Chain A
Amino acid sequence: MSSLRQVEAMLGRESMGVVHGLPGVPVASPSSVDEAREIVQCLTKDRVKFALLGRGSKLGWAALVQKPTLAISTAKLSGVVEFEPGDGVMTALAGTTLAELEGIVRPHGLRITPAVPRADNATLGGVIAAGQSGTDRLLHGAMRLHLLGTRLLQLNGQSTRSGGQLVKNVSGYDIHRLLAGSFGSLGLITQASLRLMTCPEDRWLCTSQSATPAPLVQLATQLLESGIRSEALIIEGAGDAWQLHLSLVGRRGHVEAERKLVAALLPASDSLGGEAAHTRLEALRESEPDWHAGDVVQVALKRSRLSHGLETVMDSGFVGKQSQYRIHPGLATIQVRLQSALSAENLRQLRTSLQALSAQVSLKRPTPLTEEFLPRVVDPVRARLVARLRQTYDPQNLLCTRPPLEPIQ
């Protein structure tokens, strides 16, 4: 019997399906780690190529390099394993969505970071594997910093633990840090523990407009230098309509005091407080460019080089005037949703023109990126180490993963 048939017989037809973004590939959704293990063992025995998924919401980030015969989804591995509100930590199965987790912790005055868009379709495991950040990145830092531990189902069938459910823990290597951003290339994350954040007592959102981005970037720099602690500082726009959004959170008196400072720097701005601010920020989060819809270029550089980098991107002839920009000045990243697909030659030119700023340029598109689009791994030492790590976890090279994780030399 083929491995596919075996998996189907194992789970029953109702646990087999498809996901948007992976046409023609059957998706198996085991409802326990033991079931997942049986599937993995069956596939590795027959050397079948397969992919690991949450709900497939990030398949558009960069399609799989090789087409898998089957995908395993964690969609049915869902639920909270342990939640200790008094300790501010939680452990959940990897298929639980961030929206579900948020719903559980909120009544206790806690929240989940990262605050990602479309959280009702973003699984915990998927967010970890994709190393995804949210609109709260400026305040809380990367999600990997709040990942306390994981359980990984390895291709050899072993379920291994790294870290735990404690806010401080240096026992053993931090393998969970390796899993954050590993895009399903090392094994199936089945469970994870997170540090929870406190819900702010008060919040305030201020928006400033401009016909060009330059004055807003300058304002953002002033805001950052003033020491104002913001949850999110976002510039977005296209053509001649640009906005800067600043979200302040914290204790009531603190937000009040910071508002005054901001008012002096951003005189002509609209502002919202409390729930209205929260709703607006959620809308901003949801409007984050969806990679399914077309090419998105991301530039990351040092904060002091942001203006220069932005000018370089805008002056490059191939990023259209009406392309939609989203800039995070505090994080020094520029994202551009392009109006039309970028050619490999143009991407190379952009990389070259930004080289002097030591910027890193990456492309996300819904269809597979061929090698010419990928950032070249210029460091052979790193490439060899990555290859050895992959070899350790996936000795038969069965996992179909996304670029740029495939070691390129």
Chain B
Amino acid sequence: MHTTIPRQLQSILGDEGMIADKNRRIPYECDGLAFEREIPDLVLLPASTEELQACLRILHAAGIPVVARGAGTGLTGGATPVKGGVVIGLARMRKILEIDPTNQFARVEAGLVNVDITHACDDHGLFYAPDPSSQTACTIGGNVANNAGGPHCFKYGNTSRHILGLKIVLSDGEILELSEPELDPSGYDLLGLFIGSEGMFGIATEVTLRLTPRAEVTETLLAVFPDLDQACDTVTDIIAEHWEPSALEIMDQLTIQAVEASVFSAGYPPDAKAVLLIEVEGSRPECEANVAGIEAIAKRHGIMEWRRAANDKERKKLWAGRKGAYGAMGRIAPDLYVSDVVVPRTKLRQLVRQTTDICERYDLKITNVFHAGDGNLHPNISYDRRDADQMRRVLAAADEIMRVCIDAGGTLSGEHGIGLEKRDQMHMYFEPEDMEAMLGVRDAWDPSGIMNPGKMIPVRACNEHRPLRFKR
């Protein structure tokens, strides 16, 4: 990077807005995918869209790669810096700009932490529905970029169902406003296309979100199973019989034991082979009908125990175990590889078994905590990244897991995205021409190719024609 560039950037951002010191840049070397690391040449922390715009103009002119970063909780290396590039963090852009309870929307800066919106509109009886398990840390901008999901997305849908408008700074510093007062866009649905583009189209600075009214009644239930297969079959039948819970989350025995031994203890029976955490929302009659229907299915599949939270305190406790599950897994091994695949919901049992068998074959410890209602599996592999052989086995097992899921009609990712982690596996799911089409779309958004280069789309598969200097 030419020496004048940091000076120009600093004159825009001030001391507070730029990190040049190497030690202070190290925390930005990776996201939640700990084995992909690269220290960025600079970290920029703009405090406004205009500051970001001015910075991007300079970086664009100099052809310097840019990686946007929210909270860095992404699990696929989406926010991993690119060699010779800068990281642009949104941490100083976290204001709530507007809450409109009548029209049920909020306008926020992209660096706002997900859960803060729900806290801010609680008094209006509204909430922001997408609830990734990382919601106390991850940002709305990161959620938009990854089209994040969460337990309640079974009922409410991923992030893309809840975004009404975006302000985006494109790679050349142009500002694109995608706010549609009309329900159906009068031209192309650029908003829908941007969501899930993993920071490769531009940087979102402002987001208009749909707020959802709180349900009249919420019931939280726990079905305890002597066998993981039965928990999976229960979910398959709930879907096939058209019951409508808002969340269906499975945890297996190792997870239960880790949770129960931790501060997140929720009172799950440690001898159970699996628990299914169920939430039902709606009117009283609706909830009663759903609870009765789901309970009957669970009983048919031989539950050991059926619990119904009696009050808010019990409800929160049951959820604390699920929400703290990833934290609790730190007890099993120093590192955790969180796989994220989706399978048809008619094949849950078969694929959960297969993923477990694969890990056993590679002598790896697997735990399962997953959004069962969406068929979104998270086979989590506990490992120690300092052990090279273990690392090799983890990656080989992860590959096989993706392969069996795709062969069964599944897909590579349900919510975490592709990033670096699954970039080279894209060919398992897409043909070279599919990825070529993606590259074409990406070129239209960012002709310069400086936005998060080298992510998502593999280089070999489709004769990538981007400048080689961005390739990892």
| Pairs A–B under 8 Å by Cβ, sample size 18 | A161-B430, A165-B409, A168-B374, A170-B147, A170-B417, A171-B418, A173-B438, A173-B442, A178-B189, A181-B188, A251-B290, A300-B181, A304-B102, A332-B183, A333-B183, A362-B186, A385-B176, A404-B186
Interface flag for B242 (CB, 8 Å)? yes
Residue pair B345, A87 in contact (C-beta under 8 Å):
yes
Contacts of B409 in A (CB 8 A): 165-166
Residue pair B346, A87 in contact (C-beta under 8 Å):
yes
Which one of B32-40, B156-164, B294-302 contacts A? B156-164
Given contacts A301-B181, A385-B445, contact A256 B417 (CB under 8 A): no
A87: contacting residue among B103, B283, B344, CB under 8 A: B344
- Cα–Cα, bound, A386→B190 (Å): 9
Chain B positions 240-268 with a Cβ under 8 Å from a chain A Cβ:
240, 242, 244
Chain B positions 386-431 with a Cβ under 8 Å from a chain A Cβ:
409-418, 422, 426, 429-431
Residue pair A174, B185 in contact (C-beta under 8 Å):
no
Interface flag for B80 (CB, 8 Å)? no
Contacts of B216 in A (CB 8 A): 227
Q: Nearest CB to that of B415 among chain A residues? A: A170
- Cα–Cα, bound, A404→B184 (Å): 13
Residue pair B158, A170 in contact (C-beta under 8 Å):
yes
- Cα–Cα, bound, A171→B447 (Å): 22
Interface flag for B62 (CB, 8 Å)? no
Shortest distance between the CB of A330 and any CB in chain B (Å): 10
Residue-wise interface mask of B (143-180) relative to A, using a CB-CB cutoff of 8 A (1 in contact, 0 not): 00011010001000110110000000010001111101
Which one of A40-48, A342-350, A375-383 contacts B? A375-383
Contacts of A103 in B (CB 8 A): none
Which one of A18-26, A212-220, A280-288, A388-396 contacts B? A388-396
A86: contacting residue among B186, B189, B236, CB under 8 A: B236
Interface flag for B84 (CB, 8 Å)? no
Q: Nearest CB to that of A256 among chain B residues? A: B285
Q: Nearest CB to that of B105 among chain A residues? A: A302
B433: contacting residue among A87, A142, A160, CB under 8 A: A160
Interface flag for A269 (CB, 8 Å)? no
Interface flag for B196 (CB, 8 Å)? yes
Residue pair B176, A175 in contact (C-beta under 8 Å):
no
| A-B contacts besides A86-B240, A171-B418, A389-B441, 13 pairs, CB < 8 Å | A142-B184, A166-B344, A166-B409, A166-B411, A170-B413, A170-B417, A172-B434, A181-B187, A227-B216, A252-B289, A254-B286, A257-B285, A385-B190
Given contacts A84-B346, A304-B103, contact A168 B415 (CB under 8 A): yes
Given contacts A158-B436, A175-B193, A253-B289, contact A169 B240 (CB under 8 A): no
Residue pair A379, B192 in contact (C-beta under 8 Å):
no
Shortest distance between the CB of B376 and any CB in chain A (Å): 5
Interface flag for B239 (CB, 8 Å)? yes
Residue pair B375, A167 in contact (C-beta under 8 Å):
yes
- Cα–Cα, bound, A362→B181 (Å): 12
Contacts of A254 in B (CB 8 A): 282-283, 285-286, 289
Residue pair A389, B444 in contact (C-beta under 8 Å):
yes
Shortest distance between the CB of B242 and any CB in chain A (Å): 4
- B interface residues, Cβ below 8 angstroms from A: 102-103, 146-147, 149, 153, 157-158, 160-161, 170, 174-178, 180-190, 192-193, 195-197, 213, 216, 236, 239-240, 242, 244, 282-286, 288-290, 342-346, 371, 374-376, 409-418, 422, 426, 429-431, 433-438, 440-445, 447, 456
Residue pair A331, B183 in contact (C-beta under 8 Å):
yes
Q: Nearest CB to that of B428 among chain A residues? A: A171
- A interface residues, Cβ below 8 angstroms from B: 84-89, 109-110, 131, 133, 137, 141-142, 144-145, 152, 154, 158-162, 164-175, 177-178, 180-182, 198, 227, 250-254, 256-258, 300-304, 331-333, 358-360, 362, 375, 377, 379, 381-382, 385-386, 388-389, 391-393, 404-405
Residue pair A360, B345 in contact (C-beta under 8 Å):
no
Q: Nearest CB to that of A154 among chain B residues? A: B437
Shortest distance between the CB of A313 and any CB in chain B (Å): 15
Shortest distance between the CB of A348 and any CB in chain B (Å): 17
Given contacts A160-B437, A171-B418, A303-B102, contact A85 B283 (CB under 8 A): no
6 smallest CB-CB distances across A and B, nearest first, come from A253-B285, A177-B192, A300-B182, A388-B444, A86-B240, A254-B286
Shortest distance between the CB of B29 and any CB in chain A (Å): 24
Residue pair B414, A170 in contact (C-beta under 8 Å):
yes
Contacts of A142 in B (CB 8 A): 183-184
Q: Nearest CB to that of B104 among chain A residues? A: A303
Shortest distance between the CB of A171 and any CB in chain B (Å): 4
Q: Nearest CB to that of A361 among chain B residues? A: B182
A109, A178, A182: most-surrounded residue (chain B CB, <10 A): A178
- Cα–Cα, bound, A172→B442 (Å): 11
Shortest distance between the CB of B325 and any CB in chain A (Å): 19
Shortest distance between the CB of B420 and any CB in chain A (Å): 14
Residue pair A303, B103 in contact (C-beta under 8 Å):
yes
Q: Nearest CB to that of A147 among chain B residues? A: B192
- Cα–Cα, bound, A41→B426 (Å): 28
Q: Nearest CB to that of B293 among chain A residues? A: A251
Shortest distance between the CB of B102 and any CB in chain A (Å): 5
- Cα–Cα, bound, A309→B186 (Å): 19
- Cα–Cα, bound, A158→B432 (Å): 10
Contacts of B188 in A (CB 8 A): 178, 181-182, 386, 389, 405
- Cα–Cα, bound, A331→B164 (Å): 13
- Cα–Cα, bound, A359→B344 (Å): 42
Contacts of B177 in A (CB 8 A): 379, 382
Contacts of A304 in B (CB 8 A): 102-103
Given contacts A154-B437, A385-B445, contact A227 B189 (CB under 8 A): no
- Cα–Cα, bound, A405→B186 (Å): 8
- Cα–Cα, bound, A145→B162 (Å): 10
- Cα–Cα, bound, A163→B286 (Å): 33
Residue pair A171, B429 in contact (C-beta under 8 Å):
yes
- Cα–Cα, bound, A131→B191 (Å): 14
B418: contacting residue among A133, A172, A362, A379, CB under 8 A: A172
Given contacts A141-B161, A170-B146, A171-B426, contact A392 B444 (CB under 8 A): yes
- Cα–Cα, bound, A121→B255 (Å): 52
A381: contacting residue among B176, B435, B442, CB under 8 A: B176
- Cα–Cα, bound, A161→B426 (Å): 13
Contacts of A198 in B (CB 8 A): 242, 244
Contacts of B410 in A (CB 8 A): 166
Shortest distance between the CB of A32 and any CB in chain B (Å): 18
Residue pair B189, A131 in contact (C-beta under 8 Å):
yes
A169, A253, A393: most-surrounded residue (chain B CB, <10 A): A169
Residue pair B411, A181 in contact (C-beta under 8 Å):
no
Shortest distance between the CB of B240 and any CB in chain A (Å): 4
